[in-house]
Chains A and B, each alone.
Chain A
């Protein structure tokens, strides 16, 4: 019981933080506009911010809806027992299945996270789910093709990206299988609609309102996940507007620092895994191949937007553990790759 209360508080504090930041921004805009209303609205920075902010939301919206619909359908139509039967008992087999699942379901993380939350709720082991979250956005045909095309002259980059993503996800999956055994889901507590009066509605969904149930769950989850996407888009927009990529790039050109720097850039930019190869391509003259792969492997696995979404699903400590593992493994992996394969 106390556990639930704690989680509830955490969940709220995230939402509150997001709300406060947004409110502060609006307030700032309001006060600034009192001085010179026309100039603030025509400020090019504001225009850039607004365009990036809305653009990310518009781009994510369809995939978010697909994700929440899959989740709602799973919730209403697939029983926990049926779900459990579909998951391989052998952990290594489970992790391998999760790694190649992305080839069959090429979903980006915006659609994946809501679906994954439902799957874990229905009994999918944590290590399988984690592997899928990490590798799904990378190890799929669309991403391979776009990377291969972006680096037409350098096919080893596409292979390196796929291979490293697979290796990192496999390692993380195994580590989680070995060391994490407790439930890591952030328990969802809804502040409304839960009282003794409606307890009976809870057990079943009668036949005629299954459609309403699916839609209701989808909408509910849309708001649940959506706030993180909007907040993430807000932060990404701010960073892209005010932090110059060029200055960042000039920070690290050394062997090891370039890899770390490109990982940071991937984190901040929060690009879709299908489009980041073309952005990486623009760095080809200034950065080493290893650091480009670091950008294209780390970015889809861990980025600002995705991290916020994951924190909606998992406990904060687990998200931190996962981030730490991915940071270390990707960094080490790219150094190894550089040393052995990309001469």
Chain B
């Protein structure tokens, strides 16, 4: 194979791969399936990447065409080795090394094949097994003395403020907790799912007996009794790689009839349970309805929820 035609081939292969990536990303953007891979606040970057890819693809075709006419459009060198690079060695193994460099392109074709031939599906609760379920966290470690506790500002009922006294750093959860406390039915919707869960678990005692409704997938793990399962949601910060499951323990006598990964909506009252040596809220089930997951079944942490309260 002559040097010129091998170079043309090499440029064309690159052009085709870039076309593939541009097509894959464009397709995911248009169909909205991109949200199955990355969080909404990264969509702007994904759009940027798609634009880069489309532009780069155009240039790569131009470079390929131009390389037919002229010898070279872009030198692919760094200055570093440009000077001590001898030509005869390059000639000797040029055909072999061009084979080798084309083997690299296989690496790029793998994700394109995956993208083209496998469906874009949301990950179900089965992944939670690998990740470990979160039922809220220890908001206060080391149990600070009550002197460290502060009441939050604002013109709320003083009795309520006394009830939601906490340390300085949990004030935002106290505020959210008071908001939830005043609701007749606490609905765990997609917005602030994690934040609400944290608020409930920070003030477990205050919420005993309150009505709550939650939708999610059924998940089971060791340590739960036969009448218990966890209703979970997957939380994504950036992309699937950092996904973590969050959930609430739910209890019902006919719990066993609900298979893992089925989506249900549960209404009930809040109780408490011990999970990994920590007191967490528990849902005593009153009614269960089948539910279907949203097309994008993920919830996202809101870094700035306190400012929106």
Contact = CB atoms under 8 A, between A and B. Distances in A.
Interface of A: 1, 4-5, 12, 15-16, 18-19, 22-23, 25-26, 41, 44, 46-48, 50-59, 61-63, 65, 69, 75, 80, 121, 145-146, 149-150, 152-155, 185, 187-198, 201-202, 209, 212-213, 215-220, 222-223, 226-227, 230-231, 233-234, 236, 240-241, 243-246, 249, 269-272, 274-276, 278-279, 281-282, 284-286
Contacts of A58: 25, 28, 34, 37-38, 46, 49, 239
Contacts of A215: 55-56, 59, 63, 74
A271 B243 CA distance: 10
A192 B7 contact: yes
Given A23-B106, A198-B75, A278-B237, A145 B25 contact: no
B33 to A, nearest CB: 10
B189 interface: no
A282 B18 contact: no
B52 A62 contact: yes
A121 B139 contact: no
B78 to A, nearest CB: 5
A46 B134 CA distance: 25
Contact of B72 (A1, A145, A193): A193
B82 interface: yes
Contacts of A282: 131-132, 134, 137, 244
A26 B112 CA distance: 12
A231 B81 CA distance: 26
Contact of B108 (A12, A189, A230): A230
A313 to B, nearest CB: 11
Contacts of A23: 106
B110 interface: yes
B160 interface: no
Interface string B10-28: 1000100110010001001
Contacts of B276: 285-286
Contact of B94 (A18, A185, A191, A236): A191
Given A51-B123, A149-B303, A279 B244 contact: yes
A135 to B, nearest CB: 21
A245 B131 contact: yes
B75 A201 contact: yes
Contacts of B104: 15, 18-19, 223, 227
B228 interface: no
Contacts of A272: 238-239, 242
B292 interface: no
Interface string B203-219: 00000000000000000
Contacts of A5: 89
A65 B110 contact: no
Contact of B14 (A219, A236, A244, A271): A219
A227 B108 contact: yes
Interface string B272-286: 000011100000000
Contacts of B59: 212, 215-216, 219
Interface stretch (B150-158, B167-175, B178-186): B167-175
Interface in B125-181: 126-127, 129-132, 134, 137-141, 167, 169-170, 172-173
B106 A194 contact: no
A65 B52 contact: yes
Contacts of A241: 130
A338 to B, nearest CB: 14
B87 interface: yes
Contacts of A249: 132
Contact of A54 (B87, B114, B173): B114
Contacts, number: 271
Main secondary structure of the interface of A (DSSP, over half): helix
B87 A271 contact: no
A154 B91 CA distance: 62
A219 B25 contact: no
B281 to A, nearest CB: 15
Contacts of B304: 149
A185 B81 CA distance: 11
Interface size of B as a range: 35 or more
Nearest to A12: B100
Q: Which 5 A-B pairs have the closest CB atoms?
A: A216-B74, A191-B97, A55-B240, A62-B49, A62-B45
15 contacts: A15-B104, A19-B106, A48-B127, A54-B115, A56-B241, A59-B38, A62-B45, A185-B80, A194-B87, A198-B75, A215-B55, A233-B111, A244-B130, A269-B242, A285-B278
A121 B80 contact: yes
Nearest to B55: A215
A318 to B, nearest CB: 16
Contacts of A201: 71-72, 75
B164 to A, nearest CB: 15
A198 B76 CA distance: 11
A75 to B, nearest CB: 8
A238 B131 CA distance: 14
A158 B42 CA distance: 23
A278 B236 CA distance: 9
Interface in B224-267: 235, 237-242, 244
Contacts of B77: 188, 190, 194, 202
B308 interface: no
Nearest to B13: A223
A63 B303 CA distance: 22
Contact of B238 (A69, A185, A275): A275
A8 to B, nearest CB: 8
Contacts of B130: 240-241, 243-246
Nearest to B122: A51
A319 to B, nearest CB: 18
B126 A279 contact: no
Contact of B241 (A15, A52, A187, A234): A52
